[in-house]
Amino acid sequence: MEVERVQAVASALMTAETIPTDFIRPEKERPAITTYQGPAPDIPTIDLSLPDRDSVVRAIAKASEEWGIFQVVNHGIPAELISRLQVAGKHFFDLPAEEKEAYAKPPGSQSVEGYGTRVSKDVNGKRTWNDHLFHKVWPPSTINYRFWPTNPPNYREVNEEYTKHMREVVDKLFLCLSLGLDLEESAMREAVGGEELQYNLKINYYPPCPRPDLALGVAAHTDLSTLTILVPNDVPGLQVLKDGRWIDAKYIPNALIVHIGDQIEILSNGLYKAVHHRSTVNKERARMSWPVFLEPPEERVVGPLPQLLSPESPPKYKAKKFKDYMYCKLNKLPQ
């Protein structure tokens, strides 16, 4: 086994009182020190089934301007399907190490696909308490089933069904985000690739951690996607930065958590904000989450929409190919 999995580190530490220094975040990042303790507003929750479309559009636009994140309920994805998705993903992470390694991201691969663990340390020289599985789920031409677990046997069926429902939610969200800026209803969706928009599923696995006060599951970041649509399990951990404070996301069973990513911030010329977020970990229980990153095709040029520009509102971002944006972000180069 070439890559050290956090799940193995965690198992070896079950009764320990500390964690390897590689995982101990500097004080300015430690959740025990930096989580806001006062009364804080909740991330907005939006009911997608309300018949008054204008009020849904306004609520989504306001949340995207002020928070860059919101939860949606009554979104049309059946609760039992979400639950089957979660059971299938958990089944994979509960498999013996050798079985999971069959899906490992190939060494040197340029793609994110596969079972992985971030080993390159970040700017602080620190690691995060997370293993994950990444694979594309849409469009069909981009899918590589080599990275889809065959155990449990219903993994494929469940993920295909989830994706089918997800696509309807995504279309609705892009429509609302467009109308919220007084654009044609198809403007955003077309700008991010239309039918070629890619759906990349990640399953995050954050093993129990003896010192959740010192570690992070994922460090603070914005997603480089257009939107990210995430379902968590019932172990809390997602935090968002709002007005300079780290606030816990409330767990709402069966809600989808919609993150505005960098590409929507760019298209909207900064009217919608990409949210800074991170994940903490739990002492007793494994936290899991299932984000779907919606990404433009690599060659698609993304820049501020011309309809939103004027002499008073000049472009705040460069237009560039999504692959070039990704390269700069991943290598921490200026955009």
For the annotated catalytic residues, the residue numbers are 202, 221, 223, 277
Q: Does 25 bind ligand OGA (CB under 6 A)?
A: no
C-alpha distances (whole Å) from 286 to each of 52, 74, 93, 123, 210 are 39, 27, 10, 26, 12
Q: For 155, which DSSP code?
A: H
Q: Does 233 bind ligand OGA (CB under 6 A)?
A: no
Give residues with Cβ within 8 angstroms of 141, minimum separation 6: none
Q: At closest approach, how far in Å is the CB of 335 from Ni ion? A: 18
Q: From CA 68, how far away is CA 64, in angstroms rounded?
A: 4
Among residues 133, 183, 218, 247, which is the contact residue for ligand OGA, using CB under 6 A?
A: 218
The residue range among 107-115, 183-191, 232-240, 294-302 that interacts with ligand OGA, by the rule CB under 6 A, is 232-240
Give residues with Cβ within 8 angstroms of 107, minimum separation 6: 2
Task: Tell which residue, 283, 293, 245, 213, has the closest CA to residue 43.
Answer: 245
DSSP-based three-state secondary structure for 87: helix
- Choose the one of Ni ion, ligand OGA, none that binds residue 64, judging by a C-beta under 5 to 8 angstroms depending on kind: none
The residue range among 29-37, 82-90, 133-141, 230-238 that interacts with ligand OGA, by the rule CB under 6 A, is 230-238
- Output 183 or 227, the one with its CB closest to Ni ion: 227
Report the residue number whose CB is nearest to Ni ion. Answer: 223
Residues within window 227-266 making contact with Ni ion, judged by CB under 5 A: none
Q: At closest approach, how far in Å is the CB of 87 from Ni ion? A: 23
Among residues 29, 223, 262, 265, which is the contact residue for ligand OGA, using CB under 6 A?
A: 223
One DSSP character per residue, 260-315 reads: E-HHHHHHTTTSS-PPPEEE---SSS-EEEEEEEEE--TT-EE---GGG--SSS--
Q: At closest approach, how far in Å is the CB of 291 from ligand OGA? A: 5
- Output 58 or 221, the one with its CB closest to ligand OGA: 221
Among residues 68, 180, 212, 232, which is the contact residue for ligand OGA, using CB under 6 A?
A: 232
Task: Tell which residue, 295, 300, 299, 262, has the closest CA to residue 136.
Answer: 295
Among residues 29, 113, 131, 223, which is the contact residue for Ni ion, using CB under 5 A?
A: 223
